[in-house]
């Protein structure tokens, strides 16, 4: 470019002023568009989770990316509507059962206490030793007072719940509108996802910073991939396991309980407790079961099953599925989840762990650059891009199919040769 036509270079003060102005405007936009920002973040998470599925189907089917995205999102919408409808019907039935059985359950509190004491004080023999547990000591007068108070407050509570149905309907309409926005934004993000790494490299054209930007981007991707996809796998596994156990025990609405337990996996620490509490609450207000257990025994059985599921998850599934890619102290994750909840509600709680890991990654980079140290002292972990289990299974099936076809063709050729030789021999 001609130097006479080019604009003068900006001074350091001008650059600093422009940078501060841009950051201030960006912060103001984020502050004013908080509700929309939540939808955009959820849309990005959905597209990120679906990215490997779209890539795999595109390679397998040879369809265009747009066609594959359309098929995947159509199946997603159908599955979501079906699950949402079933969960809504199950929740309505469960709430109706709760309010139908609650008065009787409240009146039977003394009976439940007596059953617990009978269970505890029953003499048991293990290894030739007889033992029994001490009974719970409750003042009968206090129990009667608590029962009366609960009975008095139950009817007003039921009335308040009925009057809030209108606000629930309005909230449902707003939720549907948000889901539509999330769907369309997620489709566009999924379509442009392969271009993101190129954009990051193009934005870091300053000599020496392209490598830094690309390496930080890869580390950023590993953090969010290990967490989001790991949590999604955990949610599916725990949801299926809880559904099967609740179905085996005969608990009402096992599929709804499985969905709740699966979704709660995205909330650190508190989520699994909420999922277990939902199953236990349903068991408490379930009057009969096909196993013939008493109500107390049934609740204890459901509680033990949920505790076992959580122990298997924490000690076996989490280390193998999520791993230690976040490299965060559990206390830091817990505090971050509380801070995220106060800032952005449920979404802040769900994203607290990967956000903290990202801040730690960028903070370490900035700290080492400030002291003129190598920002990447350790060699990058570059595991080979091994194909997923689905890709491996598909390729193996194709190879076996090709081998069978080749064998078949070879066999037919050999048989044909033998037949021709035989015919030639006879003719001779």
Instruction: Estimate to the nearest angstrom the gap between the alpha carbon of 380 and the chain centroid.
Output: 28
- Among the listed residues 286, 241, 284, 290, the one whose alpha carbon sits nearest the alpha carbon of residue 261: 241
Q: Looking at residue 240, what is its pLDDT?
A: 93
Phi, psi of 364, deg, nearest 5: -65, -40
- pLDDT more than 70, % of the chain: 66
Which range is least confidently modeled, 84-98, 225-239, 250-264, 385-399? 385-399
8 dihedral zone (left: phi>0; alpha: psi -120 to 50; beta): beta
Contact status, residue 136 vs residue 113, Cβ threshold 8 Å: yes
Residue 147, pLDDT above cutoff 80: no
Contact status, residue 56 vs residue 388, Cβ threshold 8 Å: yes
411 or 86, greater pLDDT: 86
Residue 64, pLDDT above cutoff 80: yes
Residue 151, pLDDT above cutoff 50: yes
Buried b (16+ CB within 10 A) or exposed e, 227-257: bbbbbbebbebbbebbbebbeebbbbbbbbb
Residue 152, pLDDT above cutoff 60: no
178-189 mean pLDDT: 84
Residue 387, pLDDT above cutoff 90: no
- Among the listed residues 191, 271, 206, the one whose alpha carbon sits nearest the alpha carbon of residue 238: 271
- Among the listed residues 271, 270, 74, 263, the one whose alpha carbon sits nearest the alpha carbon of residue 187: 74
Which range is least confidently modeled, 48-52, 172-176, 246-250? 172-176
Confidence of residue 415 (pLDDT cuts 50, 70, 90): very low
280-306 mean pLDDT: 87
Q: Looking at residue 71, what is its pLDDT?
A: 92
Strand partners, 182: none
Query: Domain segments of the chain: what residues?
Result: 36-128+174-195, 204-378
| Mean pLDDT computed over every residue of the chain | 75
Contact status, residue 234 vs residue 318, Cβ threshold 8 Å: yes
Contact status, residue 317 vs residue 264, Cβ threshold 8 Å: no
Angle between helices 65-107 and 254-264 (to 10 degrees): 110
Confidence of residue 372 (pLDDT cuts 50, 70, 90): confident
Q: Looking at residue 145, what is its pLDDT?
A: 58
Strand 129-131 and strand 124-126: the pairing is antiparallel
Q: What is the pLDDT of residues 75-95, one digit of tens each?
A: 988 988 887 777 677 666 766
Q: How far is CA 211 from CA 195, 216, 217, 362, in A?
A: 17, 8, 10, 15
- pLDDT more than 90, % of the chain: 9
195 or 82, greater pLDDT: 82
Q: Looking at residue 173, what is its pLDDT?
A: 65
Confidence of residue 304 (pLDDT cuts 50, 70, 90): very high
Which range is least confidently modeled, 54-63, 195-204, 241-250, 360-369? 195-204
Q: Looking at residue 410, what is its pLDDT?
A: 47
Residues 6+ apart with CB under 8 A from 150: 106, 109
Confidence of residue 245 (pLDDT cuts 50, 70, 90): very high
């Amino acid at each position: 470019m001609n130097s006479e036509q080019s604009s003068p270079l900006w001074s350091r003060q001008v650059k600093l002023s422009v940078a501060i102005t841009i950051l201030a405007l960006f912060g103001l936009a984020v502050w004013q568009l908080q509700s929309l920002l939540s939808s955009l973040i959820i849309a990005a998470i959905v597209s990120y989770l679906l990215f490997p599925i779209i890539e795999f189907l595109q390679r397998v089917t040879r369809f265009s990316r747009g066609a594959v995205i359309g098929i995947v999102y159509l199946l997603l919408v159908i599955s979501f509507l079906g699950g949402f409808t079933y969960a809504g019907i199950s929740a309505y039935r469960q709430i109706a059962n709760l309010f139908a059985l609650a008065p009787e359950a409240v009146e039977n509190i003394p009976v439940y206490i007596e059953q617990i004491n009978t269970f505890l004080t029953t003499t048991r023999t293990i290894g030739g030793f007889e033992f029994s547990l001490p009974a719970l000591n409750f003042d009968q007068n206090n129990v009667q007072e608590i029962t009366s108070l609960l009975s008095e407050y139950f009817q007003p509570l039921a009335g308040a719940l009925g009057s809030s149905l209108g606000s629930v309907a309005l909230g449902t309409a707003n939720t549907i509108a948000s889901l539509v926005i999330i769907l369309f934004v997620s489709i566009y993000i999924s379509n442009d996802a392969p271009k993101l790494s190129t954009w990051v490299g193009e934005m870091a054209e300053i000599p020496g910073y392209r490598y830094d930007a690309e390496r930080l981007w890869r580390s950023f991707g590993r953090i969010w991939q290990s967490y989001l996809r790991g949590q999604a796998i955990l949610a599916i596994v725990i949801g299926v396991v809880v559904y099967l156990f609740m179905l085996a025990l005969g608990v009402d609405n096992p599929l709804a309980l499985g969905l709740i337990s699966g979704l709660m996996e995205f909330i650190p620490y508190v989520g699994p407790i909420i999922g277990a509490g939902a199953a236990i609450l349903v068991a408490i207000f379930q009057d009969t079961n096909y196993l013939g257990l008493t109500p107390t025994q049934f609740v204890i059985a459901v509680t033990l099953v949920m505790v076992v599921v959580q122990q298997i998850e924490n000690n076996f599934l989490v280390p193998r599925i999520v791993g230690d890619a976040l490299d965060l102290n559990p206390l830091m994750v817990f505090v971050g989840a509380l801070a995220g909840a106060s800032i952005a509600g449920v979404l802040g709680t769900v994203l607290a762990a990967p956000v903290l890991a990202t801040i730690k990654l960028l903070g370490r980079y900035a700290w080492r650059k400030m002291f003129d140290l190598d920002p990447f002292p350790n060699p990058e972990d570059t595991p080979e891009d091994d194909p997923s289990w689905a890709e491996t299974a598909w390729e193996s099936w194709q190879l076996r199919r090709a081998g069978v076809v080749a064998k078949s063709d070879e066999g037919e050729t050999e048989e044909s040769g033998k037949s021709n030789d035989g015919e030639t021999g006879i003719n001779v």
